[in-house]
Structure 1
Amino acid sequence: MQVTETQNDGLKRGYHITVTAAELEAKVNEKLTEAQPDVEMKGFRKGKVPMALLKKQFGQRVMGEAMQEAVDGAMSEHFEKTGDRPAMQPEVKMSNADWKEGDDVEVDMSYEALPDIPDFDASGLKLERMTVEADDESVDEALESLAKNAQNFEDREEGAAAEDGDQVVIDFKGSIDGEEFEGGAAEDYPLVLGSGSFIPGFEEQLKGAKAGDDVEVTVNFPEDYQAEQLAGKEAKFACTVKAVKASAPAAIDDELAKKFGADDLEALKGQIRERLSAEYGQAARAVLKRQLLDQLDEQVSFDLPPSLVEAEANQIAHQLWHEENPEVQGHDHPEIKPTEEHNKLAERRVRLGLLLAELGRKNEIQVTDAEMTQAVMNQARQYPGQERQFFEFVQQNPQMRQQLQAPIFEDKVVDHIFEQADISEKSVSKDELQKAVEELEDESDETAAA
């Protein structure tokens, strides 16, 4: 077997691999000898089929397997010897397309090698972590929000007309062409006007109604309504308004706390304080991580595989195009060409991705089975009732597993760098932290717009 270098330009590599006919023949004989004890053929005892007959019967098929194994073995031996790691799947093609049995097998292999990534001293990184205290004012604001969400409705004054945000208690019967239909009637139904919980146009026709009024509501069911027998049809609802109620925030007391699963108001405040502290911590970490990535991008430089940058730029451009054209669901659209800004962002992502991957490899950072299971469980919650199918899909889909694993791995590498970096803490207000987070989001939007 011979491997001859044909290209060595930057990260681009090219090799011509020759597997001699004798090596290939030996590989075929080896595979047939290995299989011989289990072969059964009419006229021969099991394991006693002559080699010549085996070769005549199975040689052609085994030859293909031997060729593939020989080339794969040559590639593996090459990567082990050189230490090269291809950025993407190597391109491999036979150079003697007119090959026939008895000829050497000649293959051309080309790829882009992953670059050598320089070491750097993480202790030289200077970062600043924002810290925010979950103070009483923030807790009180959260309590007021909970009280609003847990609002009660109280009868308005006699003769009051229903407005947006009011709750009307109604009896109604629906009919199409004078015939009542199944599921079109209810009694004492509490409907909040403006909630959008009923068919479009229904709630608007109850505005101005008073307790005791009879109102006929006429609406058209949407063309895509889930009940096919009603879709696109006009319906009339005979409604009797039994009460008009205005919303009133729930009292901030022990009863409110119990509605949210706490023993009393003080326990609820404690839960809110913990939740706010966790939210502030997550936001501060996002800001700190951006600081880190910006410094790494500035301080660490190395050659990038053009194929990775091109693939990333194309993906960015394609994703942003679909975000700007949400009505296009498939990929039947004009060719999308990356801009210079897309290429710059792609270079940053590839550089940081390779750097973090190398740091993780050198420091033997791995995603545990428990962490992966938790990630799958978190994702499965988005598909209620289909959790088992989602688990099976992830198990059978390596690409999906990689998508779930990648952010966990990245965060573990980032935490590893945080442990070595020089991080100072700065106490800031909730508003200052929020402004810093909004600036991160604005930068993302500007990148998308570009």
Structure 2
Amino acid sequence: MAVKKLNESTYEVSAVREGEELKHLKEHVLVHFKDAKVDGFRPGHVPAKVIENKFKKEIEGEILNHIISDEYRKAVAENELRPIADIKLEKYELNDDKVEVVFTIPVLPSFELGQYKGVEVEKENVEITDEKVNEEIEKLRENAAKLKEVEENEEAKNDDVVNINFEGFMDGEAFDGGKAEGYDLTLGSHSFIDTFEDQIAGHKKGDEFDVNVTFPEEYHAENLKGKPALFKVKVNSIKRKEEAELNDDLAKELGFDSVEDMTNKTRENITKREEARAENDFKNKVVEAVVDAITFDVPEELVRREIDYQINRFAQQLQMQGMKLEQYFQMTGQTLETMRESAKENAERAVKTELVLAEIAKAEEIKTTDDEITKEIETLAAMYGIDKETLLSDVRKNGNYERFIDETNYRLVNQKTIDLLVNEAKVK
């Protein structure tokens, strides 16, 4: 066996079996086929040559599996590798007296941490001005505006929230992903392709009409690229914001005693929020400084997994809003490929950060206690409005207990590691 390091995250293993060693391996594999059924022969009395000819592919597969299993186990143990995915077969050649196998193992990269304590980064000095307070109060006033259905004869216009049913057709045929009912669309948001929203403006509640659009040339679906389409649309309702006046009545409605109380408490809230944001920004800068100082190849397999995770999470968020990922692609002109490409940089960053923090935690021997895990679970349970026992019971029912505990432990170790870096960091 020969093991070669191709890069920080990939090792290549080469193995050869020949002569007596190959002969014994074949005999070992053939034992599993001794009772095979072959026309013209009684089970257990089929000549070896007949078995080799009839089950040639199966036997070769078994030989390959035996070699890879042996060499993989030895390569991992002898080189202290940390595999992160399945091996990739690069070469497999077999003849009567010799077998050559070459495969690669994706592994966690090894790297030098260097100096990760005492990094110097800037920290924002928070100052809350009257202007900031007034801006926040104005936002509270604007957010207090209520969506109110317009009069029956009023037409939809920009910034209105229009609830619609729609179905898309091309050449008279409905296409997949082009239909939805009860969809809330804010006109002027440019959520949908082409002039879809512009053609809804001017219509009234109950109107049924056609919207003509053209799909972008770079659209992901080949059958829709650059093609004209017709959407049959029905307006179910039109809602418009009704602005609120800033006075004591509004302040009380928002949970304050008066406008003066609203102003004072808003200043306090902004101060707490901005100080928390500045502290969080400082933490992020510290971690970024530590991670940026370390150079290594981020494993592609881990990046792919992170991209999958990000896209699945986005799809779940869309589903909660009543839209499928395919519909999102239809309406925005984006594709799964472009989405994956745009997520790649952030995914690489996330994976690298995770690997660096894990290595620091290992170097510093950062661990959690049972009490810390218990408290974290109690905090999570409180967030869901249940007690710890109910949460753990639900996790066990789903068969996720071990994974849940591991993830809780990982999250706590990760936070402890970040706290260490922040406490050791210096403010510029």
TM-score by length of 2: 0.47
Structure whose CA Rg is larger: 1
